[in-house]
Structures are given as structure tokens and as C-alpha cells.
């Protein structure tokens, strides 16, 4: 019986693929899906939600028990409206399940024989505090879908035949490198693998082999560009015309986006997802959105293969369109992780209004604003780290790197921001006054901050997800 439902699921997903090998025209990879009327999109989602529920019920011990505890039976989900009956899943549940049933846990419907017969790769999360990372196995079915979905996103950004890409994500068990790599392979775009090279060598690759598309985190795009400048090279005059960034919300933070685009003289695009449920792009920017200068760019959500919900973090009930809440996602394509209602936890608001590019899928307004568990409360005011990042990087005399520390002193929250002078200021000469920086940050944040100015190059750089916020209060709230 489980083999039958497994085969039905793969066939349903594959039947929904359009233009598997090449784009349909010069604007869309598959216009039949990207510009689909929303009522037809809901029919696609409904069919997949119903079968995904049956697949998990039959093939995942974890989810069969979870559904039964919620009072559900094998046929409880018969329409898209029934999705609300399904309880959400949080990462802590998977951690507990994996610890109780090592090494894989029982939440994935993938069996050991599926993994050994049709397996592709193993991936792990990057930010868990557990001794053992959350681990996920994927099959060739998943690889093919990742490639196709990634190609659709990159094509919407403007990647075309004739481009050459340099992929600077880490060559390892993180999904970012592999999803982009296989998508570019499908597109026929040659890839320079910078995953195992150091920064100086990557700069040499750019200068010598002249790639046109750079793939990395926003933080690393800044760092790589500055290293090239220090070596007497000009990122602005390089061959790079487009940067595809993932891992940090930088492309949707106006001042960070402006810095990167001015540094490289290239357009900056966002590509986001997560290892657990949205391995290939859940969200991506189009060419029309990245041209915006009047507001943070919106990010398209790939709704034919993902079902995003925006829920109130306290009640876990849907919020009206346009209002903010936490992102909950259902994966509607994976053989190994077809998860229903996983709490990604990112703060988001969406609109279903069509984009000027013609795509009809919902968009995250201004992109992801930050994770709900990263929301900071300081003296009654609520902040996401991205708000502080935008404020810091609006100061042209301040460098790219910064560090935020929050402490409680005499029952009062104190925030200190450590910054460097801009790399464009010669060492040993002019340094921007700390008090002026503090006044500027107070003006944008609305609270007093202490500023420490350290020499350029003092703060750590990273090619991975940057950690700049350190909440050192014993009880932050």
C-alpha cells in the first residue's frame, strides 16, 4: 500500500512540471504556471495537499501519530480548506524525534531502501544548537525538482545563456550550493565552483575567468568586494553583472542592497528558503522588483510547489492579507520532505496582487523581515536585526561590518553597536566621530545607543550566515 501512494505522489508532482528542460520564451521559464489565474493555482495546491496528507499518513510514523493525536483519520483532509485541521510542526519536534529514533527520525516518509536505491544527497541544517544537526536525505526525484525550480527562479532574475556563474557558497551539506549548482546545470550556464577556494582565489577567478553571475551571501558579497579593492582590483569594473544572494535578508534591506549594488555595479537578487521544508527557492526576486528604489523589494513565492501561510504567532490563526505574521510552509513536491504546515518562523506579510512582471503568485512584501525568535524588545520597542542593519549601513562613513550587543545594566537595557570606519577612509587618517554616529542611529532607531569605533578589519567576516546580534541579557524579555 505504501508503495502505491509513494508512486502516486511522484507521478502527481511530475505531471505538474512544465518546460522541464528549457524556458518557454524570453520572459518566463513556464508561463503556464508563473502567470496562472489564482483559482487554478488553488486547485493545484488542493490536489497536492490531499495526496501529501495521505502519503504522510501511510509512510511517516511521526506524522501518522501527530495526525491521530489531533483527532484526524486517514481521510480527514479532502480539500484545501481542511489544511487548517492539521497541527503545525515546529523544529523542536523533529529534534526530539531524531534523538529518539537516530539517525534519521521518523518524520520523513523516505525508507532506507528508497535512500539506497534512488538516493541523491544528504543535507544538514546550519544553525541548530543540538549536539547532532538535523539531517535530511533526498532522492533523485528531489534533485530533478530542485533543478527545475531553481532554474525558474534564476530565469526570472535574468540569468540567460551566455552567462557564467561563480558559486561561492560552501561546498558541503548545506542546500544553498547544490540547489543553485544543479539549476545552473539545467540552464546550460557554466559554473565556476568557488566553494572550496579562499577569498583571494575567488577574486582571482573573477578577474581571470570573467564570470557574470556571483552567488553568495549578502555579507560575503561585501567582503569579497572589499578584499578585491584591497588587492588593487575593482569589483565595479569586473565582469559581474548580477549577484544572487541567500542566507541573509540583505537584498531586501535598502541600504545593504544599495551598498552591494554600488560596490559591484551589479543588480542584487534574493533567493530564499530553508533546509527543512523549502530546499529549492521558496522565494525569489524578479528583474522588475530589483529595479525598485522607492521601497524594499518584494519577493515572489513559488506557490505551485509550496503553500505559504501567514499566521498570528500566538494563536496560529491566519491573518488578513497584507498584515504581518509568521511564515508557515507546506512542501508540495518533495519525495523525502513533503511536509504540511512547518513553522519556518520568519516574519512576513504578503500580497496576491499581480507583479508588474506579470507573475501571479503571491509576493512577500519587502521580503522576509526576520525570524520571529530574533525579534528584540528594547525598552518597550520591538526590532528585527534587519532594522538596525539598515540604520547602520545608511551611514556612508561607517564600514560594512558591525556588532550589536544588548545588556541589562541596573535594570535598564543598554545597546552597544560596534562599527568600523569605511574601507574608503585611509587608515590612520580621518575617523568618523562616535557621537555623531550615535546621534544618527538614535534618529533612525528612536533609542539611545552606545557606539564603539574600532579599526577597519577588526570585526569578523564570513561567507556564511552572518551573526551580528548578541543578546547578553539573562532574560531578554
Q: What is the pLDDT of residue 467?
A: 80
User: Is residue 354 domain-shared with residue 252, that is, in the same domain?
Assistant: yes
Q: Which three cell numbers stand for residue 178?
A: 547544490
In a domain, 33, yes or no: no
In a domain, 328, yes or no: yes
Q: Look at the chain and count its residues.
A: 477
In this prediction, residues 187-199 reach a mean pLDDT of: 94
Residue 354 has pLDDT above 70, yes or no: yes
Reported as a pLDDT band with limits 50, 70 and 90, residue 457 is confident
Residue 284 has pLDDT above 60, yes or no: yes
In a domain, 41, yes or no: no
In a domain, 165, yes or no: yes
- Judged by average pLDDT, the poorest of 49-58, 160-169, 255-264, 429-438 is 429-438
Percent of the chain with pLDDT over 90: 68
> Could you tell me the CATH number of the domain that includes residue 341?
3.40.50.12780
**Residues in Cβ contact with 260 at an 8 Å cutoff, skipping those fewer than 6 apart:** 218, 221, 222, 225, 243, 245, 250, 266, 268
In a domain, 101, yes or no: no
pLDDT in tens, 153-163: 999 999 999 99
- Judged by average pLDDT, the poorest of 56-65, 132-141, 281-290, 419-428 is 419-428
pLDDT in tens, 57-85: 999 999 999 999 999 999 999 999 999 99
In a domain, 425, yes or no: yes
Q: List phi, psi (to 5°) of 245.
A: -115, 145
User: Is residue 179 domain-shared with residue 264, that is, in the same domain?
Assistant: yes
In a domain, 241, yes or no: yes
Percent of the chain with pLDDT over 70: 94
268: domain range?
139-371
> Could you tell me the CATH number of the domain that includes residue 388?
3.30.300.30
Q: What integer best gives the mean pLDDT of the chain?
A: 90
User: Is residue 241 domain-shared with residue 344, that is, in the same domain?
Assistant: yes
Reported as a pLDDT band with limits 50, 70 and 90, residue 430 is low
**Residues in Cβ contact with 67 at an 8 Å cutoff, skipping those fewer than 6 apart:** 53, 56, 57, 73, 76, 86
Q: What is the pLDDT of residue 167?
A: 97
Say if residues 21 and 155 touch (Cβ distance below 8 Å).
no
Half-sphere exposure in the Cβ direction for 144 (13 Å, CA) = 16
Residue 36 has pLDDT above 80, yes or no: yes
Q: Give dist(CA 235, CA 246) in Å, integer.
A: 20
Q: What is the pLDDT of residue 413?
A: 81
Query: Which of 16, 5, 35 minimizes the C-alpha distance to 300?
Result: 35
Query: Which of 306, 308, 443, 314 minimizes the C-alpha distance to 365?
Result: 308
Task: Describe the strand order of the beta sheet including 306-311 as a list of residue ranges.
Answer: 306-311, 325-331, 342-348, 370-371
Of 371, 386, 401, the one marking the end of a domain is 371
- Residues linked to residue 272 through DSSP beta bridges, in sequence order: 283
Q: Give dist(CA 16, CA 156) in Å, integer.
A: 19
Q: What is the pLDDT of residue 425?
A: 65
User: Is residue 361 domain-shared with residue 460, that is, in the same domain?
Assistant: no
pLDDT in tens, 317-335: 999 999 999 999 999 999 9
Query: Into how many domains does the chain fold?
Result: 2
Task: Describe the strand order of the beta sheet including 398-409 as a list of residue ranges.
Answer: 450-453, 412-421, 398-409, 469-471
User: Is residue 328 domain-shared with residue 466, that is, in the same domain?
Assistant: no
In a domain, 426, yes or no: yes
Q: Which three cell numbers stand for residue 249?
A: 535578508
User: Is residue 381 domain-shared with residue 356, that is, in the same domain?
Assistant: no
Q: What is the pLDDT of residue 128?
A: 42
User: Is residue 206 domain-shared with residue 155, that is, in the same domain?
Assistant: yes
Of 371, 394, 412, the one marking the end of a domain is 371
Q: What is the pLDDT of residue 290?
A: 96
**Rounded-to-10 torsion of CA 10, 13, 14, 18:** -170
User: Is residue 324 domain-shared with residue 383, that is, in the same domain?
Assistant: no
Residue 138 has pLDDT above 90, yes or no: yes
The C-alpha angle with vertex 298 and arms to 361 and 88, in degrees rounded to 5, equals 65
Of 371, 396, 425, the one marking the end of a domain is 371
Q: Give dist(CA 215, CA 243) in Å, integer.
A: 6
User: Is residue 182 domain-shared with residue 270, that is, in the same domain?
Assistant: yes
In this prediction, residues 375-390 reach a mean pLDDT of: 75
User: Is residue 259 domain-shared with residue 401, that is, in the same domain?
Assistant: no
Q: Give dist(CA 347, CA 124) in Å, integer.
A: 23
User: Is residue 316 domain-shared with residue 422, that is, in the same domain?
Assistant: no
Residue 289 has pLDDT above 60, yes or no: yes
In this prediction, residues 417-442 reach a mean pLDDT of: 73
Q: Which three cell numbers stand for residue 407?
A: 545588556
User: Is residue 315 domain-shared with residue 354, that is, in the same domain?
Assistant: yes
Amino acid at each position: 500500500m505504501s508503495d502505491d501512494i509513494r508512486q502516486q505522489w511522484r507521478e502527481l508532482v511530475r505531471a505538474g512540471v512544465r518546460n522541464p528542460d528549457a524556458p518557454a520564451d524570453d520572459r518566463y521559464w513556464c508561463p503556464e504556471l508563473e502567470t496562472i489565474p489564482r483559482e487554478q493555482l488553488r486547485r493545484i495546491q488542493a490536489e497536492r495537499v490531499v495526496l501529501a496528507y495521505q502519503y504522510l499518513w501511510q509512510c511517516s510514523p511521526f506524522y501518522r501519530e501527530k495526525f491521530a493525536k489531533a483527532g484526524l483519520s486517514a481521510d480527514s483532509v479532502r480539500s484545501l480548506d481542511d489544511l487548517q485541521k492539521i497541527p503545525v510542526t515546529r523544529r523542536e519536534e523533529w529534534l526530539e524525534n531524531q534523538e529518539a529514533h537516530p539517525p534519521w527520525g521518523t518524520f520523513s516518509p523516505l525508507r532506507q531502501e528508497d535512500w539506497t536505491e534512488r538516493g541523491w544527497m544528504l543535507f544538514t541544517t546550519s544553525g541548530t544548537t543540538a549536539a547532532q544537526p538535523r539531517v535530511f536525505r533526498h532522492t533523485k526525484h528531489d534533485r530533478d525538482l530542485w533543478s527545475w525550480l531553481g532554474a525558474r527562479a534564476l530565469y526570472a532574475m535574468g540569468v540567460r545563456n551566455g552567462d557564467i556563474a561563480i558559486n561561492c557558497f560552501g561546498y558541503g551539506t548545506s542546500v544553498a550550493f547544490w540547489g543553485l549548482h544543479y539549476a545552473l546545470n539545467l540552464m546550460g550556464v557554466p559554473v565556476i565552483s568557488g566553494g572550496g577556494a579562499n577569498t583571494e582565489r575567488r577574486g582571482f577567478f573573477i578577474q581571470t575567468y570573467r564570470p557574470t553571475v556571483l552567488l553568495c551571501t549578502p555579507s560575503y558579497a561585501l567582503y569579497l568586494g572589499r578584499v578585491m579593492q584591497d588587492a588593487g582590483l575593482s569589483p565595479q569594473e569586473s565582469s559581474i553583472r548580477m549577484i544572487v544572494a541567500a542566507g541573509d535578508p540583505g537584498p531586501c534591506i535598502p541600504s545593504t542592497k544599495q551598498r552591494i549594488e554600488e560596490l559591484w555595479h551589479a543588480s542584487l537578487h534574493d533567493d530564499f528558503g530553508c533546509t527543512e521544508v523549502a530546499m529549492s527557492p521558496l522565494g525569489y526576486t524578479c528583474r522588475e522588483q530589483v529595479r525598485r528604489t522607492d521601497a524594499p523589494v518584494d519577493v515572489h513565492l513559488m506557490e505551485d510547489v509550496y503553500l505559504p501561510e501567514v499566521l498570528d504567532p500566538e494563536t496560529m490563526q491566519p491573518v488578513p492579507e497584507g498584515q504581518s505574521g509568521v511564515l508557515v510552509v507546506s512542501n508540495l513536491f518533495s519525495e523525502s520532505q513533503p511536509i504540511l504546515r512547518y513553522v519556518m518562523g520568519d516574519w512576513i506579510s504578503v500580497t496576491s496582487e499581480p507583479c508588474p512582471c506579470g507573475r501571479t503568485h503571491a509576493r512577500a512584501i519587502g521580503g522576509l523581515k526576520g525570524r520571529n525568535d530574533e525579534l528584540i524588545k528594547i525598552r518597550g520597542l520591538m526590532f528585527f536585526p534587519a532594522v538596525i542593519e539598515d540604520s547602520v549601513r545608511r551611514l556612508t562613513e561607517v564600514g560594512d561590518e558591525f556588532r550589536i550587543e544588548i545588556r541589562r545594566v541596573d535594570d535598564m537595557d543598554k545597546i552597544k553597536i560596534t562599527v568600523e570606519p569605511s574601507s574608503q577612509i585611509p587608515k590612520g587618517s580621518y575617523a568618523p566621530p562616535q557621537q555623531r554616529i550615535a546621534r544618527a542611529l538614535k534618529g533612525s532607531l528612536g533609542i539611545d545607543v552606545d557606539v564603539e569605533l574600532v579599526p577597519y578589519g577588526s570585526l569578523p567576516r564570513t561567507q556564511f550566515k552572518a551573526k551580528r546580534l548578541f543578546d547578553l541579557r539573562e532574560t531578554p524579555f
